Amino acid sequence: MTPVADFEGMVREHQSMVFSIAYHFLHDRPAAEELAQDVFLQLFKSMGALESAEHVTRWLRRVTTNRCIDHCRRSRLMPRIGLDQVPEPSIPGGAPDLMLSRALGQLVASLPANWRALVILKYQEEMETEEIARALDMPAGTVKSQLSRALDFLREKASRVLGETV
Amino acid sequence: MSQMDDALREALRREAAPEGFAERVMAKVGREERQATKSDDLSHWLLAAFRRPQLRWATALAGVALAIGTMEYRNEAEKRAEGERAKDQVMLALRITGGKLRLTQAAVRRIQYAPREQ
């Protein structure tokens, strides 16, 4: 297989992961797609330095998250989504429904960039504290405490906006 | 696992990438490679010309002009991007203001047409 065909296979394998991290971060599909494309372009240039499939996955998660944080800082994108824009859930209580998911997604997108990164890596990518710490080059204790603060903050916001649903 | 954990997992599950995403990435990679080849060709040509004594001064001048031109172009592109960002912010502010205005109008209408107490 040629390196380009190999690379195309990698894009197809990881496109959902990279796009989703960017989308949950930015809550803007065109911006998320542009950022995800740039991540893959950077991957193409760095292919020689990556040793295994696991290394590629770790690299993609780290680079995508860091680019999202940079994007937010550069464009001062801080909360583009205000609490008043979060819709009410359609069904109070019970199984998570579509409106509740959307509302929670928007609440996550309104978090400060560092907290957002931790929440997305934990719940979208199902990563453990140590994995997140390695990916973001942070001490595990800091990840744990910031994640806990982010979740408290989310819980408080969610109970205000969504009532007793979560 | 708490209900919050489940709800977050559901809210943050992976989304499918947009249709044609991989093709657009491959096209971008192709463009980037062609660009890199072009600039390699140009630098080889400039180097070859610089080695010929009768063309040395002309090549040096062309190189300086090219560097200045590139810098100007980049500055211009940055200014354009800044303008676009400012425009987006104004549009966002206008949308928010519009939304608030509509809410206020609706509230005023409600008060206006509400049955008055005797």
Question: Are residues B4 and A155, on separate chains, in Cβ contact within 8 Å?
Answer: yes
Structural domain tally of chain A?
2
Q: Is residue B67 part of a domain?
A: yes
Are residues B46 and B75 both part of a single domain? Answer: no
Token pair of A28, please? 């803007």
Tens-place pLDDT, residues A139-149: 999 999 999 99
pLDDT of residue A12 exceeding 50, the answer is yes
Whether B21 sits inside 8 A of A36 (CB atoms) is: yes
CB contact under 8 A, B10 and A17: no
The amino acid present at A48, given as its one-letter code, is G
pLDDT score of A147: 95
**B42 is in which domain, residue-wise?**
21-51
Which chain B residues are closer than 8 Å to A101 by Cβ? 7, 10-11
Q: What is the pLDDT of residues B34-48, one digit of tens each?
A: 887 777 677 777 777
Nearest to A24 among B10, B12, B24 (CB): B12
**Closest CA–CA distance from residue B4 to any residue of chain A (Å):** 5
| Helix, strand, or coil (residue A163) | coil
CB contact (8 A) between residue B14 and residue A108: no
Residue B9 lies in a domain: no
Note whether B106 and B62 are same-domain residues.
yes
Q: Does A113 touch chain B (CB under 8 A)?
A: no
Judge if B66 and B89 occupy the same domain: yes
Q: What is the 8-class DSSP label of residue B53?
A: G
For B18, nearest residue in chain A (alpha carbons): A33
* Mean pLDDT in residue range A13-42: 96
- Which domain does A157 fall in, by range? 84-166
- Distance (Å, whole) CA B35 – CA B99: 45
Q: What backbone torsions phi and psi does residue A11 show, to the nearest 5 degrees?
A: -60, -45
Span A114-138, average pLDDT: 94
ipTM confidence? 0.78
pLDDT at A99 over 70: yes
Q: How far apart are CA B35 and CA B76, in angstroms?
A: 20
